[in-house]
Structure 1
């Protein structure tokens, strides 16, 4: 199985970042990637440029690193456009503390909102559904989220709910910008 066929997770991409001497979390760039795919249809080449700029390098270190970074883009695009609505932000998992997971969600949201603010003009926002507009507005509040939290069941439940909100907002943005992708059933449609 090649790297292109494997599912990329947070640790895989963080390892690629480390190879490039970057300690930054992939979450910020994943938020940017999601919003770019929704609003700009970022190409593979443009994505590599975006990541390299974020890492402070001219190009990926080697073909394997480039393949992982491109697989990340492909995986995200496939998840956003799939009919099973299984997109999930690339965030630290349960191997990380809740504080680290919260920091990852905050960084993801910062990246996502940065792109939305840069590319979603007032004309585009007027065409958004009220649900999407509200979801995006609510996401803006996550940028201010407190991340110095202890590992408790309550905090874990809250973080799960906030992550789910970010996930749904991302999918709504993508589906509204790409009608018909994914082919989501319209539950309000009359049955013939």
Structure 2
């Protein structure tokens, strides 16, 4: 079984957040997690601290919750580092309305960009032009209108925007962590 199959889904993490009394979307923290792992190798204890701060609690409510939160971090790191480029942002799935899914993508993007902004200009100095462009595009994505109707056209647009965010995340990781994963130059091919 691949890591992508093991990775918790949005609803599982949202339910875990509810157990801690938080209605917050996991998407924002997943965006932060992804960028943090790419930029500065976020430690397990640092991640638990960040999640608890986001949930407004001092610590996970029980051992199982703490283990689930740590597993979320571990599997995110694994999928980012995997040469098959199968990282997926933790976003609401097709059980949610298109507007909710768009809001999830917007929140993920805001979390991702917040970490990049907090890192300052130093990491950006070595970035390739495609990465700079991808991050600039995410800034526009963070400002998108999420009040959209359920339609095939909007669904296709949202899919394309999600794919762009996913590729930006993997590009950031591969440029910040050369050799992890081993990937060929250029875009991965779609099969």
Range of TM-score over shorter length: over 0.9
1:47 corresponds in structure 2 to: 47
Aligned to 2:23: 23
Corresponding residue number in structure 2 for 1:69: 69
CA distance in 2, matches of 1:173, 1:118: 15
**Partner secondary structure for residue 166 of structure 1:** helix
Query: Aligned residue for 1:116?
Result: 116
C-alpha distance in structure 2 between counterparts of 1:124 and 1:36, whole Å? 12
Aligned partner of 1:183 in structure 2 is: 182
Root-mean-square deviation over aligned CA pairs:
1.1
Q: Is the 8 A contact 2:6 2:75 kept in 1?
A: no
Task: Report the 3-state secondary structure (helix = DSSP H, G, I; strand = E; otherwise coil) of the residue aligned with 1:122.
Answer: coil
1:79-118 to 2 correspondences below 5 Å: 79-118=79-118
User: Could you tell me how far apart the structure 1 residues matched to 2:37 and 2:7 are?
Assistant: 18
Q: Which residue is equivalent to 1:153? A: 152
After superposition, the C-alpha distances for 1:74-105 in whole angstroms (9 at most, x for unaligned) are: 01000000000000000000000000000000
- CA-to-partner distance for each residue in 1:143-186, whole Å, 9 max, x for gaps? 11111111000000000000000000000000000000101124
Runs of 4+ in 1 over 2 A off after TM superposition: 121-124
May I ask how many residue pairs the two structures share in their alignment?
Answer: 182
Given the two structures, how large is their TM-score scaled by the length of structure 1? 0.92
Match of 1:190 in 2: none
Larger radius of gyration: 1
Distance (whole Å) between structure 1 residues aligned to residue 164 and residue 125 of structure 2: 21
Whether the aligned pair in 1 keeps the contact of 2:7 and 2:76 (CA below 8 Å) is no
Gaps of 5+ in 1: 188-192
Shift of 1:6: 4.1
Alpha-carbon distance, 1:62 to partner: 0.4
CA distance in 2, matches of 1:9, 1:69: 12
Instruction: Please list every run of 5 or more consecutive structure 2 residues that lacks an aligned counterpart in the other structure.
Output: 187-191
In structure 2, what is the Cα distance between the partners aligned to 1:7 and 1:113? 22
Corresponding residue of 1:171: 170
Q: Distance in 1 between matches of 2:123 and 2:33?
A: 19
